Structure 1
Amino acid sequence: MEVKTKYDIICNKSENFQIFYKRKMVIMKQESSFNVINKKEKNSFIDAVICFIKLIRVRQWSKNIFVFSGILFPSGVIGLLQVIQLFIAFFLFCVISSSVYIINDIIDLEKDILHPVKRFRPIASGKIKVKFALAIFYIICPASIILSFLLNKYFGIILCIYFVINLSYSLKLKEFVFIDLLIISFGFVLRTLSGIIIVNGTNSFWFLLSIAFLSLYLGMNKRKKELLTLAEDSEKHRKNLGEYSIELINEIIPMLTACTVISYSFHTLYEVKVKYTFFTIPIVVYGVFRYQYLTDKAGYGESPEMVLLKDKPIVLALVVWGVIYISAKLLTKSF
């Protein structure tokens, strides 16, 4: 007896009951293909986002928290508007610093390929093309400068100075010994000064000087770590690394440590004029010592921003310092 069926092929039990329905299989194949494409598109999109985040170095945006130093030196009561302006200033500094990082990665492309860590950066690894990186630069750099002048003209001027100096650093000045570190230090001073300007605060010479010495201290430790990491290939990555030496850096670091602590102590004793703020001096000393320990033991010297992201004692020290410093000022005003 002939049996009619809608299936094109029927196999018996000995052939594992393989039943194929032509129309159904076409649909299943199309769905399977579609799912694979969607998965690939999803993965490629996630990879592109991760590469973009690495390109603009979001991880290093923590350096721009110095903009919020303006909260410490208000000329009056800080309102909600000024707080919002500080956050906008912080964001604009992040954007302009990211644009500098893009140019720096393009210029240092060949050198970064030789570096054991930097060779994984998006441009050096080939995950992002130079043309695409330049396109991002041409968008975010002008936008951040225009918005900075709309926020505050003096802040806009500071942002332009920061960009020009750091662009000069990327193009040529980083090849000169000590000049490279002085430019990095000046960048941190500009961040701090911009925050003070946003809140119309009072300038603090000794505090700015302590920021300058602290950033020089961090920079020296970074150079030391680069020398240890790159060893004989250090000059291939950065020309002026040959001018530095472990012995020289070990002599300079104690001086910068002392200058940082002394200048901050002068700030608390002669500028703030709030007697309780001197209790923050031991916290600053601990923070510097803790960072030096991490540099020698944990290898964070080449990435100072990682300390703020990973080391809990440093984060706790910063929080305690902020609470004591601000509380001391508020208590003095109350009485």
Structure 2
Amino acid sequence: VWFLLSVISFALFLAIGKRRSERTLMEKGAEQHRETLLHYPPALLDTLTTMFATSAWLTYALFAFQQPLISINPNVLEFLGDSSLSFGLPFTELGEAKYMMMTVPVVIYGVMRYLYAIYEKREGESPEKVLLTDTPLLASVVLWLVMVIFINYYLGG
């Protein structure tokens, strides 16, 4: 359920961010943009952007915190020897390591970087273009993907 809510929140965040960027661009030349954008007050778009940005990373964090414990692959333990994989990892109240929790800061950084692209760089009108041209945002997405694959397929193998 949390993952579904996270995906919905990210989709709405991207959609509202796109409208916010289009509205910002419209101020420069209103004749080149759709008339329906006039019905979106900037204050409302800012509020919705903030709301869905927060909802996106928060629902993802709840998803990550709810993930079941991963029993570490014996080959990984053998490779590491006596060193523990739990050093520096987030623990639950019961002292159990939840490895997916390590991906939450990367997701928060990605959301903040996209907000930066919307408000400072004024580039949110094309989310796919922002993703492919903004190197720090692309790096955070790649890092998140590598972490998820490593946690689920290598550690949990």
TM-score by length of 1: 0.36
Q: Greater helix share, 1 or 2?
A: 1
- In 2 relative to 1, CA 236–290 (structure 1 residues): closer, same or farther, beyond 3 Å? closer
Task: Describe the shift of the 1:217–1:284 C-alpha distance in structure 2 as closer, same or farther (beyond 3 A).
Answer: same
- Please name the residue that 1:238 is paired with: 34
Aligned to 1:291: 114
Q: Cα distance, 1:332 vs. partner?
A: 4.4
* Cα separation, 1, equivalents of 2:154 and 2:21: 42
Query: 1:232 Cα shift?
Result: 8.3
Number of equivalenced pairs: 130
| Kept after mapping to 2: 8 A contact 1:235/1:241 | no
Q: Which residue of 2 aligns with 1:309?
A: 132
Q: Which residue of 2 aligns with 1:214?
A: 10
Aligned to 1:269: 65
Please give the alpha-carbon distance, in whole angstroms, between the structure 1 residues aligned to 2:108 and 2:156.
Answer: 27
Instruction: Return the offset for 1:253.
Output: 1.4
**Aligned counterpart in structure 1 of residue 143 of structure 2, from 301, 304, 320:** 320
1:330/1:241 Cα in 2 relative to 1: closer, same or farther (>3 Å)?
same
Deviation at 1:235, TM superposition (A): 8.4
- Distance verdict in 2 for CA 1:232–1:331, change over 3 Å: closer
Equivalent residue, structure 2, for 1:250:
46
The answer on whether the counterparts of 1:300 and 1:307 sit within 8 Å (CA) in structure 2 is yes
**Paired letter, 1:308:** L
Instruction: Confirm or deny: 8 A CA contact 1:217 1:253 kept in the other structure.
Output: yes
Cα separation, partners in 2 of 1:332 and 1:262, compared to 1, 3 Å:
same
* 1:172-230 C-alpha deviation (Å, 9 max, x unpaired): xxxxxxxxxxxxxxxxxxxxxxxxxxxxxxxxx32222111112111111111111212
AA partner of residue 276 (structure 1): Y
| Conservation of the 8 A alpha-carbon contact between 2:20 and 2:118 | no
1:228 to 2:51 alignment: no
1:127-206 equivalences under 5 Å are 205-206=1-2
Alignment RMSD: 2.2
Q: Which runs of 5+ in 2 are unaligned?
A: 71-97
> How far 1:323 moved relative to its partner?
1.3
Whichever of the two has the greater Rg, that structure is: 1
Contact kept in structure 2, 1:221 and 1:295, CA below 8 Å: yes
CA contact (8 A) 2:26 2:32 kept: no
Among all aligned residue pairs of Structure 1 and Structure 2, give the percentage whose two residues are the same amino acid.
33
- Measured at CA, do residues 320 and 236 of structure 1 come closer, stay the same or move farther in structure 2, by a change above 3 Å? closer
Q: Following the alignment from structure 2 to structure 1, what is the Cα–Cα distance between the partners of residues 152 and 50?
A: 31
1:271-299 CA distance string (max 9 Å, x none): 45441111000000000101111222222
Q: Counterpart of 1:280? A: 103
TM-score, structure 2 normalization: 0.73
Name the residue aligned to 1:193. none
Distance of 2:28 and 2:145 partners within structure 1: 42
AA aligned to 1:315 is: L
Q: Give 2:53's aligned amino acid.
A: T
